[in-house]
Amino acid sequence: MIKKALEKVISEDMSDIWSILDGDEKRRIIDHFEIHHFKKNQIIYAEKEDPEYLWCLLSGKAKLFKDGVGGRVQILRLIRPVQYFGYRAYFANEPYVSSASAIEPSTLGALPMSLVADLIQHNIDLAWFFIHELSRNLGGSDTRIVNLTQKHIRGRLAEALMVLKDNYGYEDDNSTLRIYMGREDLANLSNMTTSNAIRTLTCFVNEKIIIVDGRRIKIINEPMLRKISKFG
């Protein structure tokens, strides 16, 4: 019955990959798929480690980040259910260049990369899945390089808020960001100090672009925010 429950989890949540596979392949995944629970802020894997698993976020939220100069952290990518990560380094045949941790309590599935590689070897659709994902991520990273280096603080923070919205969406009120994130993470997402993230957030409140209640951020003028993000 564990097998049965697992199959349900996998077939429902991993639907995009799942539909690509045949019966035998599905069985191999079920046999090697391990469910893990991570607490808030728990590390999933760390920079410089050797990649071993394909990670699949089933529920919760996760982030990929990189420790930089003088204790500064840059959040590189946000993960939502159901997304896959942790495979790049294995494919590149190198250690991880970034770390991953849970933003909130999360459930993840882990599949040995050796198995994934084997599945790819015999299933071209799976190969295409990863070619597509890698290509999209690479485009995103290249765009991010320019956004983070050339935009001013207001533009970077506005962009970060839009990234949060695009990744996790709004609550049922259609305006409150569906993520509970501290100011420090917000700063690490938009390449600035925590002080400046707080200050700039206050600016946006004064300009009636957002409403802030603790960590709850309500976006009341999304077009303006996108405008600030674009030209700034």
Partner DNA sequence: ATATCTTTGTGTTATAAAACATATTTATTC
Partner DNA sequence: GAATAAATATGTTTTATAACACAAAGATAT
Spell out, one character per residue from 52 to 91, where the chain touches a copy of itself: x when CB under 8 A holds, - when not: --------------x-xxx-x-x-x-----------xx-x
Q: Does 120 bind a copy of itself (CB under 8 A)?
A: yes
Helices (H) and strands (E) in the chain, counts: 10, 10
The distance of closest approach from Cβ of residue 77 to a copy of itself in the complex, given in angstroms and rounded to an integer, is: 8
Phi, psi at residue 135, to the nearest 5°? -65, -40
Total residues binding a copy of itself (CB under 8 A): 44
107-to-1, 9, 38, 61 alpha-carbon distances in Å: 19, 11, 6, 9
Which residues have C-beta within 8 Å of that of residue 176, sequence separation ≥ 6?
170, 216, 217, 218, 219
Q: Does 92 bind DNA (CB under 7 A)?
A: no
* The residue to which tokens 């930089």 are assigned: 68
Is 80:57 a contact under the CB 8 Å cutoff? yes
Q: Does 46 bind a copy of itself (CB under 8 A)?
A: no
Q: Which of residues 135-164 bind a copy of itself (CB under 8 A)?
A: 135-139, 141-146, 148-151, 155
Positions that interact with a copy of itself (CB under 8 A): 66, 68-70, 72, 74, 76, 88-89, 91-94, 97-98, 120-122, 124, 127-128, 130-132, 134-139, 141-146, 148-151, 155, 191, 231-232
